[in-house]
A and B are shown apart, each in its own frame.
Chain A
Amino acid sequence: MTIQFNDETFRDDYSFRNSDWAIKRFPFPFHEDSYMYSVNMEQHRGGPEGSVYEKRFDVDEHYVAEMKDRAMVLADDPLRCQSLPHMTLAGWDLLELIMVSKSEDYPDLFELHRDGNNWRWVNKPMGIDDTFTFLDETTLPYGPMEYITRQTQGDFCVLDQRDDNLWMDAGMVTTQADWSLDFDIGMNFFEWHAPVPLAHEMGIFQRALKFLLNIQQGAPARRMNWTMTVNPLLDTSPENYHKWGIQKTTVTPENIGAKQHLRVELQTFFRLPRSNALVFPIRCYLCSFQDMMTMPKWGRRLHRVIRDLPDELAAYKGFIDNRPMMLDYLSQFDDGQPTSPGVFPEPDTEPALKT
């Protein structure tokens, strides 16, 4: 299938929309009617056809618009993309991984032609056709990590591995759930997760780190995370929080279905071959409440999850003030019927909402 790329915005007039196709493949993160932190890692080796899990780096209808938004964020604040000096080789590893994956997974959109170290990269959706020398930074307009991540949806953290820990030593971070690369760069795994409540005491980070340190080349892993965002705003950075925080107060019972978005992160983890670094793409998917409610299973389940979530998590995820209004809205879509296990919406088999 050839993807029709949307002409849309993630700021100002917020013209972002999900097509029916995008709603159906939205990575709803709750596999059961409740939620608590867990390491929830699984292998990243494909998934159902058409799902966001199928390809190594999912490309969808928002691709071109997201890349335009990223370019605007970087023009305003170049510190959203940083790489400490020892991370350049890992940047080349990442460039290779993405170019090889995308050209194999989407041959109609991307081409990679290699003759030794002379490479030609064709990105048709963005109108790019560049020839460069692999491992020679002077032949690209940006460093290798910045070059390729200006052309790839999702944030990217490139983690150095040493002293039995992972270090946030490079990244491209413009669609983040309220954390600052500029502040966190150089921190280890426990330090950059320090502000997360409950999970340290539960041993989540110790177990996750052990798993991540052992990820092997060719055996990537993935997990989901989620939060809430008012308006389809990609750049929910702390840097700009004084500008976007106020939007949370614009939600009303009338507009909540359109304004309130579930923000899902598909996090994947790949070992990089030359540097032994770990790349950690964090791909953000947004879906409005009203679009999610078109799937009866998701309507029932989202209501139950949000209703039963511990207060600490609702506060940390930044929606505790709006939770009562969310529940008033969501309860209309929960008729008490059971839901089938798993994350997929099952629109053909799940019973319709009883009214």
Chain B
Amino acid sequence: MSKFEFPPSIKSRPVWGTLEARQGPAHLFISDAEGAEAILDVATPEIMKTAHIIYIPKGADFADQLRALNPAQFYEGPSYAASVQRIRKTLEDAKMGLQVYLSGTEGLMGQAQNEAMQAGIEFNAIQTEHRGSTARRMQCVHCKGITEDVETDPFVCSHCGLNLFVRDHYSRRLAAYQGVCIDAEDPGNVPEPKGIYE
């Protein structure tokens, strides 16, 4: 599957990379949906001997292929929220030199990156690769409510109901883009929603 090329943007917007196999005593892969393909691309039998894969399918069908890589540990979770305690425990127990690989949607990578940074792993040492949906995790600046997988701009806040403009401004701490009321100066004048990258 071809990768989506994000258009150039402002400096707070995250830039994702391409996973590469690195030397290390242990390897933690956190991935959702089509992010599995990025793992399949870099997995080697050597790495899988000490690999822990945490995978959230989100309706995609890669779990069996990942299991077939025969990693030391494999977990398939129903949601990111359900897996986060396991991610934290894994990071807490990690030894120096752990390699972290994140792949899939921006929402997953952003949140997992945050956990890894809070566990003391250098931001630049965390590998990432975007695959699959370009939907955004978004925080409404007004009610602070987070909405996952926002695909259109503008969109209606799922918490407070305001019409929000989907900005490129991004907070690593919140792992979210910012949504700001689009019709504050002209209530009801809301453009027809379209895909964020259309």
Chain A: residues with CB nearer than 8 A to chain B?
A: 79, 180, 182-187, 190-195, 200, 238-246, 248-249, 321
Tell me if B178 and A241 are in contact (CB < 8 A). no
Contact partner of B172 among A79, A186, A242, CB < 8 A? A186
Q: How far is the CB of A232 from chain B (nearest CB, A)?
A: 19
Residue B174, interface by CB 8 Å: yes
Tell me if B171 and A184 are in contact (CB < 8 A). yes
Query: Could you say which residues of chain B place their CB within 8 Å of the CB of A239?
Result: 141-142
Tell me if A242 and B162 are in contact (CB < 8 A). yes
Tell me if B181 and A242 are in contact (CB < 8 A). yes
Question: Which residue on B lies nearest to A243, using beta carbons?
Answer: B184
Given A183-B171, A185-B173, A186-B171; A242-B12 close (CB under 8 Å): no
Residue B139, interface by CB 8 Å: yes
Tell me if A194 and B13 are in contact (CB < 8 A). yes
Residues 4-31 (chain B) with a chain A CB within 8 angstroms:
10-13
Interface size class of B (residues with CB under 8 A): 20 to 34
Tell me if A187 and B171 are in contact (CB < 8 A). yes
Residue B67, interface by CB 8 Å: no
Question: Which residue on B lies nearest to A245, using beta carbons?
Answer: B184
Query: Could you say which residues of chain B place their CB within 8 Å of the CB of A186?
Result: 171-173
Contact with A along B163-195 (1 / 0, CB 8 A): 000011101111000101100111100000000
Given A180-B141, A183-B171, A249-B185; A238-B180 close (CB under 8 Å): yes
A352 to B168: give the CA distance in the assembly, Å. Answer: 48
Q: Which of B12, B186, B187 has the most CB of A within 10 A?
A: B12
Tell me if B12 and A249 are in contact (CB < 8 A). no
Tell me if B173 and A248 are in contact (CB < 8 A). no
A237 to B141: give the CA distance in the assembly, Å. Answer: 10
Query: Per DSSP, are chain B's interface residues mostly helix, strand or loop, or mixed?
Result: loop
A242 to B12: give the CA distance in the assembly, Å. Answer: 24
Residue B58, interface by CB 8 Å: no
Q: Which of A79, A240, A242, A244 has the most CB of B within 10 A?
A: A242
Given A183-B169, A195-B167; A246-B184 close (CB under 8 Å): yes
Query: Could you say which residues of chain B place their CB within 8 Å of the CB of A244?
Result: 184
How many inter-chain contacts with C-beta < 8 Å in the A-B complex?
A: 64
Tell me if A241 and B12 are in contact (CB < 8 A). no
Query: Could you say which residues of chain B place their CB within 8 Å of the CB of A200?
Result: 10-11
Chain B: residues with CB nearer than 8 A to chain A?
A: 10-13, 139, 141-142, 144, 162, 167-169, 171-174, 178, 180-181, 184-187
Query: Could you say which residues of chain A place their CB within 8 Å of the CB of B142?
Result: 238-242
Query: Could you say which residues of chain A place their CB within 8 Å of the CB of B10?
Result: 194-195, 200
Tell me if B144 and A182 are in contact (CB < 8 A). yes
Tell me if B139 and A183 are in contact (CB < 8 A). yes
Contact partner of B12 among A192, A240, A245, A246, CB < 8 A? A192
A242 to B13: give the CA distance in the assembly, Å. Answer: 24
Query: Could you say which residues of chain B place their CB within 8 Å of the CB of A192?
Result: 12
Tell me if A194 and B171 are in contact (CB < 8 A). no
A187 to B174: give the CA distance in the assembly, Å. Answer: 11
Question: Which residue on A lies nearest to B162, using beta carbons?
Answer: A242
Q: How far is the CB of A260 from chain B (nearest CB, A)?
A: 15
Q: How far is the CB of A145 from chain B (nearest CB, A)?
A: 18
Contacts A187-B172, A200-B11 known; 13 new A-B pairs at CB < 8 A: A183-B141, A183-B169, A184-B171, A191-B12, A194-B169, A195-B169, A238-B142, A238-B180, A239-B141, A241-B141, A242-B181, A246-B187, A249-B185
Q: How far is the CB of A159 from chain B (nearest CB, A)?
A: 16
A191 to B178: give the CA distance in the assembly, Å. Answer: 13
In the assembled complex, 8 residue pairs joining A and B whose CB atoms fall closer than 8 Å, in A order, are: A187-B171, A192-B12, A195-B12, A238-B141, A241-B184, A244-B184, A245-B184, A249-B185
Question: Which residue on A lies nearest to B114, using beta carbons?
Answer: A186
The 9 lowest CB-CB distance pairs between A and B, nearest first, are A245-B184, A194-B12, A194-B10, A242-B181, A191-B12, A186-B173, A194-B11, A245-B185, A190-B11
Q: How far is the CB of A316 from chain B (nearest CB, A)?
A: 12
A241 to B140: give the CA distance in the assembly, Å. Answer: 12
Query: Could you say which residues of chain B place their CB within 8 Å of the CB of A240?
Result: 142
Q: How far is the CB of B112 from chain A (nearest CB, A)?
A: 17
A194 to B10: give the CA distance in the assembly, Å. Answer: 5
Q: Which of A185, A186, A194 has the most CB of B within 10 A?
A: A194
A241 to B165: give the CA distance in the assembly, Å. Answer: 13
A317 to B12: give the CA distance in the assembly, Å. Answer: 20
Q: How far is the CB of B87 from chain A (nearest CB, A)?
A: 20
Q: How far is the CB of B69 from chain A (nearest CB, A)?
A: 35
A193 to B169: give the CA distance in the assembly, Å. Answer: 10
Q: How far is the CB of B150 from chain A (nearest CB, A)?
A: 16
A79 to B141: give the CA distance in the assembly, Å. Answer: 12
Tell me if A245 and B173 are in contact (CB < 8 A). no
Question: Which residue on A lies nearest to B143, using beta carbons?
Answer: A239
